Structure 1
């Protein structure tokens, strides 16, 4: 090959690589969240539990995401996310590799359309912004009937509209994939949100159909809003669940038919640029079983850097009558994981690092 030809080939290769780099990108990212916790009234209801606790504020995960410019304002995108437990290195979801996201899709000025394993709009638009996270310290989506306030589903197609005048809408449909029926075992989720300056509002409706495709296995209505002024953010959200019968949740297959509602009110205050404190009150009422639960929670976040944060959680749960909710599950095997009518206190200290 002549020198001229070699130089031409090198220039062409360099040019093509530059185009590829400009048009596509792949990002590796993740979160490691772990620490030490103490909880009373665990085990048989009279024991305390101390040890390393994973996912104090949120589930640890790592993943790959990417985008490719297809031209004309259209982009291809994908997201693969795996959850894991830092304390033992195991996957957090029974051996499923990409347990926290696994989808591919297209985006343009008309919106984003994706297909795969995806979170519902409750998790996208209400958890964190209105319903505060904190897996080890009490949260509305840890209550028995409200698992779907933060839920991920298989076999879904999801559309998210562009933002118009501060408003955005979305719809998701999950196929039951049963032969001869498009509705058997299916689910759908409709949602909307609005953001204008300090005001944020969001609402979502979920419905899961039973094996016949004609009845409702589970319905969930979720609404909430927040308002920010200065260093203070006020949050208020509510959810109403209608559980149709056994099998409504993968995590609680023995769930019986019941109706319940839950309310969470909270405030976040930035004491400094590095330290933010939060206080929450959660109330749950099961109208079918006539029992209720109350959670009081304090959360402190201190940023050591843009990526590393110290986390402190203190929560107190009080069950009335036959309620069996728990901050940390016990060995009772009851729905909710707790001992009927028992209170529980949990303290967790940890570190959260993102990359």
Structure 2
């Protein structure tokens, strides 16, 4: 008699389980910040409104009792720390041992989001005004800096009896900053190659996903081979995630994404679908290049999105995502992790590569 095939875990259930571990620790960490920084950070996470009153995620007012969730759309999915906790569990360790690393990864990610919103001038994130739009650019930059410093402080406190993850995280933060610098620089350049755009995304996004898995593997006692495979898994998922994020920046539904339609085109951002279209050698790509030589007015945005699609930017992106997901799952299966954690990581990888917000 054939054994029944185990049901694939639901990504939402996997995230709920990891968030139960993450959220109280994340709130405790943010609660140690000076009040000025805590006010902006807690608003960004969706825990309270601009006046410190509870909003969406439950829990007390600013500076009040910790606990409760980060809160649905307001706080994001927390994919990266989930990868950290599951990688540790999959390698045979206790997820709690990797909790400081998970918190640190989430703090670094949100530092980058706050600064990214300032640099791009985005007024909305997760259906709410961004931190800089509420508190001003200077306060938002300082709050982002505060989260970055806190990430290393949290990670340093978790190294007793375990690996020192600080150099690993520091290296990936440098990759993130280098990728972000390239992303900003591309906006001032007339021509950007597709492969250099891929390298930018690998630094800006994929490196932190890979880091999340590498740190979890280290705290879970993984073998060197498992660590390398898990880092490769995370990097491929991260790049797929960024490509889909770029697609949403052009065609995403504001009611779902929490951002204005055509938000990336408004800034003439040389995202991967755009660069794939610009370098396609097609008439639509040439027309798109002509549009990108000048600031885009509101009536230009729909035509610009259409040209990206006609030049093959959307098709290239979706095909690349499919390939990256296949490569990621191959690395995951080769790592030989505990079955339940491996299934959870696969569910999250599929979510990252097939999402609408």
Q: Same-fold call, TM > 0.5? A: no
TM-score of the pair, normalised by structure 1:
0.30
TM-score of the pair, normalised by structure 2:
0.30
Q: Comparing both structures, which one devotes a greater share of its residues to strand?
A: 1
Q: Which of the two has higher C-alpha Rg?
A: 1
Q: Which has the higher contact order (CA 8 A, sep 6+)?
A: 2
